[in-house]
Amino acid sequence: MILRQDADLDTLRTVVREFLREDDIAAGTSGQPRWNPARWRRACTELGLAGVAEPDEFGGAGIGSAGLAIVLEEAGRVLSPLPILGSVVLAQGLLARAGDEAARADMLPALLDGSRTATVALGALRTDGATTQALDATMRAGTWTISGFTSFVLDGDTAAWAFVRADTGDGPQLFAVDTDAPGVSVQVQDSMDLTRTFARLDFTDAPARPIAGPGTADTVLADLRDLLDVAVACEQLAGAEETLRMAVEHIKVRVQFGRTIGSFQAIKHRCADLAILVDDARSALDHAVWALHTRSPRLASAASLAAIVCGRAFGDCARENIHLHGGIGFTWEHPAHLYFRRATSDAALFTEGARHHDAVLAGASID
């Protein structure tokens, strides 16, 4: 089953696409924030981007996962640097799943109006043993503090709050850390993706707020991991569609040997293969969004299948887009390399092949 489109969702897509298209696709300045805070506040107050999936009672639009998927697709189509994946998907998703109503009530209003943003350390979500963080939490005089580091934190240089998973001695627990607090050091890291920023956060007895109760961290993060898989797949599908569109538009007008190169059979076959990949990715993603929206027991397998298929489609389309553009596709001025960089970075940071394949196989056994 998949979610059906309706007039309201079509309108949302049109509005979001028009808003995000106002920005040129370009690499950000090294060491500088990729997005404009004023523009993000406008996106939140005028379009309500941060509240698309939040329930009405929390000040959101109540559209749910289908609306969030549309926002993510349109953001991925133009490689938007706005903190949608880090703040809206990860941070707000964690608050929604943690069950800590006090924390949600305190933080969500500022996240929805765009006055503050938050993020979740990706190291907390990895299951493949990649060493991207080492964090310990200690209770002193009734106050929790955290020491250690976590790296490749999406939008870590601009987030007001960072959610981390730290060891307490009695098991892991989730904490929120104010990045402006004493004992917190933020360093922007180099990344292949020039449209996003990642940072290393170092903590030295930094004050921290526990989120949810002891023993719940891994359950919350497992649920959040499925959401992240679907969210990244949304961006990847749109990126695949856009790079295929760019390639097709180019081969229609590029003339070689007195003919448009799109008339050559070999190039037609390459584009046809990519179109099939994109069509498969759309089917897998539609099913994953349905599973997320309905909280299906098949969510883990559906999300992993979408991650596998959409990631492959984006990578292949981004690479072939450069090849089909010829020499211009390799230039810094053309945006083709930015899509390839995003696809490659996504594969390294968000894709866990073994986990995804295990989840798909496990899902095949569900009655």
Please determine, for residue 291, whether its predicted confidence score (pLDDT) is greater than 80: yes
- pLDDT score of 221 more than 80: yes
What are the φ/ψ torsions at residue 151 (nearest 5 degrees)? -120, 165
CATH of domain 7-117: 1.10.540.10
Question: CATH assignment of 120-216, given 2.40.110.10, 3.20.20.80, 3.30.1240.10, 1.10.1740.10?
Answer: 2.40.110.10
Domain limits, CATH 2.40.110.10, in the chain: 120-216
Task: Report how far Cα 19 is from the mean position of its chain's Cα atoms.
Answer: 19
Mean pLDDT value of segment 184-209? 94
Mean residue pLDDT of the chain comes to 91
Digit-coded pLDDT (tens) for 39-66 = 999 999 999 999 999 999 988 888 999 9
- Give, in degrees to the nearest 5, the angle at Cα 68 between 165 and 274: 100
Whole-structure pTM value: 0.94
pLDDT of residue 4: 59
Q: Is 308 a residue whose pLDDT tops 90? A: yes
pLDDT at 33: 67
In whole angstroms, what is the distance from residue 85 CA to residue 193 CA? 14
Q: Give the SS3 label for residue 134.
A: strand
Sign for the CA dihedral angle at 361, 296, 212, 205 comes to positive
Listing DSSP states for 177-217 in one string gives EETTSTTEEEEEE--S-TTS-EEEEEEEEEEEEEES-TT-H
Q: What tokens were used for 259?
A: 């003919």
CATH 1.20.140.10: which residues of the chain?
218-363
Per CATH, domain 218-363 is 1.25.40.10: no
Location of each CATH 1.10.540.10 domain in the chain = 7-117
pLDDT at residue 31 greater than cutoff 60: no
Alpha-carbon distance 134 to 291, whole Å? 33
Taking residue 114's Cβ as centre, other Cβ atoms within 10 Å add up to 24
The residues facing 184 across adjacent strands are 203
pLDDT at 128 over 80: no
Per residue in 198-232, is it b (16+ CB within 10 Å) or e — as a string?
A: bbbbebeebbbbbbbeeebbeebbebbbbbbbbbb
